[in-house]
Amino acid sequence: MLAVLAATTTPENLSTFSPASPSAESIKGLFILVLAIMGGILLLVEGILVYALVRSRRRANREDAEPPQVYGSKPIEIAWTVAPCIVVFVLVLLVGRVLWEVRPDPDTPPAGAKPLYVTVVGHQWWWEYRYDSYDGRELGITTANELHIPVSAPGQPQRPVYLNLQSADVCHSFWVPRLGGKTDLLPGRSNQMWLQANEPGLFLGQCAEYCGTQHANMLLRVVVESPEDFEKYLAAEAKPAIDPTDKLALADKNAFRSLSCVNCHTIRDKQDTRVNGTFGPDLTHLMARKTLAAGMIENTPENLRKWVFSPNAIKPGCLMAGFELNEKEMNSVIGYLKSLK
């Protein structure tokens, strides 16, 4: 938590004090207001305590003197009962207002808005994103670990992002500090939250609910881009995987299909529907992502080879098994995966 609060304003900033969305701004305002109220109470109580210590300290010429005692003072009892009630009542109103602001109804977006609806599924230990619809049109796109959303620029229609949060296994929690508060993903239940980014850029976060061995490495990457770039992203993700045409590339594809990878992963291919597993991330456009292993390492051919060969060496406890492949088989698998752009 101290690292979060001490974060700077770099692109990797995780500070809740640098909000980039309306909901995060509301949470920051609530935090500062509650901190001010609690600070005022602290100063008041400590001030009375210090005054009592100084006023009633033992004096050399009054060793046996006892300060005046107060018993059964109704005004004092009423004061210390009513004052906390007023403070709690004010805090309830403040929190209730912020909850209303950060959890709007996804069925009633603002007038003139162009909402994006995404289903987020938490897995041990990666994120699945299903783009359901955008601006009224159905999408049906599935990807993993990098969430792309459009920016809501001043003077343009709002582009709120409504997230339907689900879990495939245990409890997780979705938290991107600069874009909004934490919301849990619970098995057998759907929760909702929303994001609306006011500026483009990369926003980081991570799972905020302990979910197993690699909880700390279940990282979040939210890419906020212009509406035009977001449309290009959707168009690219909607395309099937590039089908190999030359003999060597086709051999690489066949080598990949012969492995058990196809039982867990999906690759959307017009000519081959056998690679349709749902346990692992969708690999259709794997090389378009910046990272591997849910944000742990950069997505390079060298790291990809290390990840395929021994994923537990990079992410101990992960549910992906390594493969004892000879050099030719490994080259074929990596060659095919590198073509998934």
Alpha helices (H) along the chain: 2-5, 22-55, 74-102, 227-238, 247-257, 301-309, 311-314, 327-338
Which tens digits make up the pLDDT trace of 243-253?
A: 777 788 788 88
Task: Match 């059964």 to its residue by tokens.
Answer: 72
pLDDT at 59: 62
Whether pLDDT at 332 is above 90: no
Task: Pull the structure tokens for residue 278.
Answer: 């749902």
Token reading at 40:
């005022």
Residue 336 CB contacts under 8 Å (≥ 6 apart), including other chains = 244, 249, 252, 253, 255, 256
Tell whether the model's pLDDT for residue 14 goes beyond 90: no
Mean of pLDDT values over 118-142: 93
What percent helix, strand, coil does the chain show, rounded to 5?
35, 20, 45
Unique residue bearing structure tokens 């081959």: 272
Average pLDDT over residues 118-123: 95
Res. 300: pLDDT tops 50? yes
- What pLDDT, on a 0 to 100 scale, did the predictor assign at position 205? 92
The rounded distance, in Å, linking the Cα atoms of 286 and 307 is 13
Q: Which pLDDT belongs to residue 53?
A: 84
Strand partners, 172: 185
pLDDT number for residue 47: 94
The share of the chain scoring above pLDDT 70, in percent, equals 90
Lowest mean pLDDT among 48-62, 201-215, 235-249, 288-302: 48-62
Q: How far, in Å, CA of 126 to CA of 149, rounded? A: 18
Confidence category of residue 63, pLDDT binned at 50, 70, 90:
low
- Greatest alpha-carbon pair distance for the chain in Å reads 105
pLDDT, tens digit, 9 for 90 and up, residues 217-274:
999 999 999 999 999 999 999 888 877 777 887 888 887 887 777 778 888 876 655 5
Q: What percent of the chain has pLDDT over 90?
A: 39
* pLDDT, tens only, 303-323: 998 888 888 888 888 888 766
What distance lies between CA 78 and its chain's CA centroid? 46
Higher pLDDT, 8 or 263: 263
Is 5's pLDDT higher than 70? no
Q: Residue 4: its pLDDT value, please?
A: 38
Q: How far apart are CA 98 and CA 224, in angstroms?
A: 24
Q: SS3 for 73? A: coil
Indicate whether 6 pLDDT > 60. Answer: no
What integer pLDDT is reported at residue 8 of this predicted model? 37
Distance CA 158, CA 227 (A): 11
Per the CB < 8 A criterion, the answer to whether 214 and 315 are in contact is yes
Asked whether residue 183 carries a pLDDT value surpassing 80, the answer given is yes
* pTM, rounded to two decimals: 0.81
d(CA 195, CA 181): 9
> Residue 219: what pLDDT?
92
Instruction: Give the model's pLDDT for residue 270.
Output: 63
Q: CA separation (Å) from 240 to 138, 141, 142, 169?
A: 17, 10, 11, 28
Question: Tell me, what's the pLDDT at 115?
Answer: 93
